[in-house]
Amino acid sequence: MFAFADSMALKAAIELRIPDILHSHDAPVTLTQLASEIDSSSPEISYLARVMILLVRKGVFSEHQPSDGGEPLYGATQVSNWVLQDADLTLAPMLLMENDPVQEDPWHYIANCVKEGGVPFEKVHGEDFWYLIPKKPKFEKLFYAAMACTSKVVMRAVVSE
């Protein structure tokens, strides 16, 4: 029932550049160290801890308990390689695009469309997807970045076979 929380937590991690921060270290780091590298003057560590717990559970990041009983240490994983913002092969733009309100809001209109007909996206935005994109420059940029990143991943797989 709360599967959406996984994608929202991953979106938050990407926006905070957590995968990039963890990948920049040679060894796992504490939550305090991680928080100090987030672009914020006063990050809320309790919320960061919740995000990390959820994403560790999903295998996006790793958690290590130090033998001295100190703070848990968080590290990168093979999964988090796929959501690095500046990597050549990344799915970060696709994840950000799919979790953007432009894409998510129509899901709240499915029941309405079953009852009354229509297309959820058009009910929310008042027009077709392709007409809306040029009117939302931030989303348009995100959409094309998402298409480019998935094309790279797919083409690399196709060409390597």
Same-domain check for residues 129 and 65 = no
- Helices in the chain by DSSP H: which ranges? 4-15, 18-23, 31-36, 45-57, 78-81, 92-98, 101-104, 110-116, 120-125, 129-132, 137-160
What total number of domains does the chain contain?
Answer: 2
In 3D space, the residue among 152, 154, 143, 158 whose CA is nearest the CA of residue 89 turns out to be 152
Picking from 58, 81, 104, the residue at the C-terminal end of a domain is 81
pLDDT at residue 86 tops 90: no
In tens, the pLDDT along 61-72 reads: 999 999 898 999
Q: Is residue 36 part of a domain?
A: yes
Same domain, 53 and 96: no
Same domain assignment for residues 28 and 64: yes
Check residue 27 and give its pLDDT.
Answer: 95
pLDDT range class, residue 10, cuts 50, 70, 90: very high
| Nearest CA among 3, 1, 2, 4 for reference residue 99 | 4
Domain end call among 81, 105, 134:
81
Instruction: Indicate whether 9 belongs to any domain.
Output: yes
Owning domain of residue 62? 4-81
What pLDDT digit, counting tens, does each position of 26-44 carry? 999 999 999 999 999 999 9
Residue 64 and residue 73 in contact, taking contact as beta carbons nearer than 8 Å: yes
Instruction: Assess if residue 87 is contained within a domain.
Output: no
Residues with Cβ within 8 Å of residue 113, at least 6 apart in sequence: 119, 120, 123
pLDDT exceeds 80 at position 1: no
Q: Do residues 74 and 10 both lie within one domain? A: yes
Angle at which helix 45-57 crosses helix 4-15, to 10 degrees, equals 120
Pair (74, 105) in one structural domain: no
Predicted local distance difference test score (pLDDT) of residue 99: 96
Q: In CATH, what number is assigned to the domain containing residue 75? A: 1.10.10.10
1-10, 51-60, 137-146: least confident range: 1-10
Instruction: Say yes or no: 67 and 113 in one domain.
Output: no
Q: What pLDDT does residue 130 have?
A: 97
The type of residue at 104 is: E
Does 126 share its domain with 68? no
Residue 152 lies in a domain: yes
pLDDT in tens, 103-142: 999 999 999 999 999 999 999 999 999 999 999 999 999 9
Same domain, 134 and 72: no
pLDDT surpassing 90 at residue 156: no
Same domain, yes or no, for 11 and 63?
yes
Give this prediction's pTM: 0.90
